[in-house]
Amino acid sequence: MNDGSDVVLERLMTLHPKVIDLVLDRVHRLLSALDHPERRIPPVIHIAGTNGKGSTQAMIRAGLEAAGEVVHAYTSPHLARFHERIRVAGTLIEEDDLARLLAECEAANGGEQITFFEITTCAAFLAFARTSADWTLLEVGLGGRLDATNVIHPALTVITPISMDHEAFLGDTIEAIAGEKAGILKSGVPCIVGPQDERALEVIEYRAARLNAPLHVQGQHWHVTEEGGHLIFQDEDGLMDLPLPRLIGRHQVDNAGMAIAALRALKRTAGADAAMTDADWPARMQRLRTGPLVDAAGDADLWLDGGHNPAAGHALAEALTRLPPRPLHLICGMLNTKDATGYMTPLAPLAKHLHAVSIPGEANTLPAADTAAAAKRAGIPASTALSVANAIATIKATTPDARILICGSLYLAGNVLRENG
């Protein structure tokens, strides 16, 4: 009997002493041992950036699929189950297929050092190479230049907004981080560029010029606005009047613009309406409507968001202003590598109270007491709670008509989705 995917994944976690070690040598070695599946996958749209990668990918996928195209997709991290990372021809990878591919990669690796993300990315390439499709959507894991996905020659690249995050690995300036993200640019391959800090854009433009990679930059080559309950996209090919994106917030309008610009570049705009209305991306201002946590909340409405850096905090604050007014209570858990006060500061004018939790089962969680202290520095009254469920009970008892937003980390979001069923 073959081991299940969970068993193999546990073994793969032990193959390198570090979770993150950004080099490409190990990936090239394993892909060579696997007879280079990355060279046999369908045409790739490669997506890098700090915020908005997953939402933009979800909209591109919805648009392509509505036009009758078959799409592979690779994202990270997962929320509830690893299988979420690998979507083969439109469907999450089956357990038997995943377990078999992981075992094949493990055997080909021969016990050599390799990170978890590197070997599981190779497994995704195997899956995509062995099933026919029209497109492959490939989301960068971290950075771009030395990311395990950056071993392909794409048909199109996309760079979403760049901001400060993962400084320990990518650099402590916006220019350094932009340089890493711009590492996905390839000679002659067009790139869709979302709204950028001027310093980041200068880095992208410099690298693109050296590679002769045509740029399609928001605000220069295309524009997206929200007018009268519609999304208006305009470029040199004309104007498109579309529904607003299903995903909430001004930042999702920008993400939608990048998705439409990508579909324009691919000459695949037949599904543009569906890119707005059908895209689904969990833990991005997601309203939870069923499950035990929703039942426990009673008349309070319950939302979930996995954003975790200052730019995400600003986007989240803007999105919250679009909802009917209710007293806002935050249940927040964060990693100890994040700028917690920077994330919370934009939310301070809106939040009545923050209930800090530690992220269950996460070694790098910021302790609840430290999260509460960060909230107070940001100007938000705060206390600690033993768990999300405990915090919900406290809020229900004091503010039964609250809007409860569980936020601060994709890892916390994954825990919530598993707990809530």
Per-residue pLDDT averaged across 257-262, rounded?
A: 98
- Chain center to CA of 98: 21
* Helix, strand, coil content of the chain in percent (nearest 5): 40, 20, 40
Query: Of 260, 277, 294, which residue sits at a domain end?
Result: 277
Distance CA 81, CA 87 (A): 12
Say yes or no: 29 and 154 in one domain. Answer: yes
CATH of the domain at 57: 3.40.1190.10
Q: Beta partners for 137?
A: 45, 73
Say yes or no: 265 and 413 in one domain. Answer: no
Q: Of 334, 389, 388, 382, give the one whose Cα is nearest residue 362.
A: 334
The H or E element spanning position 72 is strand 71-74
With beta carbons less than 8 A apart as the criterion, state whether 190 and 214 touch: yes
What does the pLDDT look like over 20-49, one tens digit per residue?
A: 888 999 999 999 999 999 999 999 999 999
The dihedrals phi and psi of 381, each to the nearest 5 degrees, come to: -55, 135
Per this entry, what is the length of the chain? 421
Say yes or no: 233 and 379 in one domain. Answer: no
Query: Of 255, 277, 299, which residue sits at a domain end?
Result: 277
With beta carbons less than 8 A apart as the criterion, state whether 201 and 217 touch: yes
pLDDT tops 70 at residue 252:
yes
Q: Are strands 351-356 and 328-332 parallel, antiparallel or unpaired?
A: parallel
Band the pLDDT of 3: cuts 50, 70, 90: confident
SS3 181: helix
Which amino acid is located at 99 in the chain? Answer: A
pLDDT tops 90 at residue 221:
yes
Domain boundaries, position 89: 5-277
Q: What is the CA radius of gyration of the chain?
A: 21
The pLDDT of residue 1 is 46
pLDDT tops 80 at residue 2:
no
Say yes or no: 224 and 293 in one domain. Answer: no
Q: What is the mean pLDDT of the chain?
A: 96
Say yes or no: 99 and 179 in one domain. Answer: yes
SS3 313: helix
The pLDDT of residue 166 is 80
Burial-class residue 169 by CB neighbours within 10 Å (0-12, 13-18, 19+).
middle
Query: Of 228, 254, 277, which residue sits at a domain end?
Result: 277
Say yes or no: 269 and 304 in one domain. Answer: no
The HSE-up count of residue 337 (CA atoms within 13 Å, CB side) is 11
CATH of the domain at 333: 3.90.190.20
What does the pLDDT look like over 132-181, one tens digit per residue?
A: 999 999 999 999 999 999 999 999 999 999 998 888 888 989 999 999 99
How many domains does the chain contain in total?
2
Q: Of 302, 303, 362, 369, give the one whose Cα is nearest residue 340.
A: 369
With beta carbons less than 8 A apart as the criterion, state whether 162 and 152 touch: no
Say yes or no: 212 and 257 in one domain. Answer: yes
Say yes or no: 131 and 273 in one domain. Answer: yes
